[in-house]
Amino acid sequence: MMTLESFEEAAEKVKEVTLPTNLIYSDYFSEMSGNKVYLKPENLQNTGAYKVRGAYYKASTLTEEELAHGLITASAGNHAQGVANAAKLFGTKAVIVMPTTTPLIKVNRTRSYGAEVVLYGGVYDESYQKALEIAEERKMTFVHPFNDLAVATGQGSIAMEIFKELPTVDIILVPIGGGGLAAGVSTLAKMLNPNIQVIGVEPANAACMKASLKAGKVVSLPSAVTIADGTAVKTPGDIVFPYIQKNLDDIITVEDEELIVNFLDVVENHKMVVENSGLLTVAALKHLNCKDKRVVSILSGGNMDIITMSSVVQHGLIERGRVFTVSVQLPDRPGELVNVANVIAQLKGNVIRLEHNQFVSINRNAAVELKITLEAFGHEHKQQIVDALKEKGYDPKLENPTSLY
């Protein structure tokens, strides 16, 4: 069982491996939500996520003989690095089974901690089964990413740190994948203050915990397709589920589109990179039905590859109306391009790219297509530019940019 004593032990133990992630008060999100919002930046850990807490505490509970045989897990993400780092710190070996589709950068990061990486299976479930086979063959200890009470206790150390810094906290928002983090945080939080609200946040397309709570038992989703890949879990943990049932007050679900714009918000206002799963609790702020409460959003991780980051930034700028493409048709005669450019310049629009297509019509005097991709200050500024083009006699049509460059 998860007890206050085990949480206190875990909170002290993880100090050996974690960096201090002091709460950050957010003026931006406080004003936006009408609450006093604090961020718990676990994305700043050495491994880029909170996962090292559970892995390290789990390892500390093992016997010398168990440690000598090593640790094993299946993961394509943050848990892989957490277990690999924990094994390195305890001076034992680690085997991490990863799907063959895992990006090379994640494979190399895991290997950098000295772990043996086994690439097996196209999806996590196949890697998981392979890891269990290897664990039995080599007598290694399998460290489950979420369905383990020692792991959940280690993750719960986050709540201890929150209370020490902000004893008057009213609400803690915690992301949910399989439920280990939420079980640990909510259980300890209720021990320390039964009146606190702990609210889980899941991607709308991977809300396995919400479905399970509604059913009163663990259920599996047919799919879990979301850009929040760290929480893309079809079946929550049955061992941690009773703790969730008892201690979690509610679950908020968030659409992927909300995560995209919140990535920009965190980068621009707090100069931090937070992965999509870590942004769930930030996106949930708009869904809170309260004001003037002290709210802590746990940012669970910041491991995002550059290609994904580039895509999220581009889509976020489009969603916010800060990048858009407009097409107009104009006669093919000298000066027409300058006329359009002047309209845009007068309203301080910044042209990123032009496409001038003379062959959109056989009648070049009637219709040459000009596509312009622009930077704007937001939706209002974007509309001002479109309206100005209309006033000058053009017929602007908005399109989604295919690329910023």
Strand stretches in 219-322, DSSP E: 250-254, 294-299
Strand stretches in 246-367, DSSP E: 250-254, 294-299, 323-330, 350-357
Percentages helix, strand, coil for the chain, rounded to the nearest 5?
Answer: 45, 20, 35
Q: Specify burial of residue 48 (Cβ count, 10 A radius: 0-12, 13-18, 19+).
A: buried
Task: Please tell me which residue in 40, 51, 371, 382 is annotated as part of the active site.
Answer: 51
CA distance 356 to 371: 7
Q: Where are the alpha helices (DSSP H) in 46-179?
A: 51-60, 64-69, 78-89, 104-111, 124-138, 149-155, 157-165
CA distance 258 to 17: 33
51 has catalytic annotation: yes
Task: 86-92: list long-range contacts, CB under 8 Å, 24+ apart.
Answer: 86/17, 86/52, 86/55, 86/56, 86/58, 86/59, 86/143, 87/59, 87/113, 87/114, 87/115, 88/113, 88/114, 88/115, 89/16, 89/17, 89/56, 89/59, 90/59, 90/60, 92/59, 92/67, 92/68
Give residue 385's identity as a one-letter amino acid code. I
Query: Is-contact 325 373, C-beta < 8 A?
Result: yes
Distances 53 to 88, 160, 191, 296 between C-alpha atoms, Å? 14, 12, 20, 19
Task: Please tell me which residue in 190, 300, 371, 382 is annotated as part of the active site.
Answer: 300
Q: What angle do CA 84, 200, 165 make, to 5 degrees?
A: 75
CA distance 267 to 274: 8
Query: Is-contact 205 256, C-beta < 8 A?
Result: yes
Q: Three-state DSSP class for 101?
A: coil
End-to-end CA distance of the chain: 54
Torsion of CA 28, 30, 36, 37, to 10 degrees: -60
Catalytic residues: 51, 300
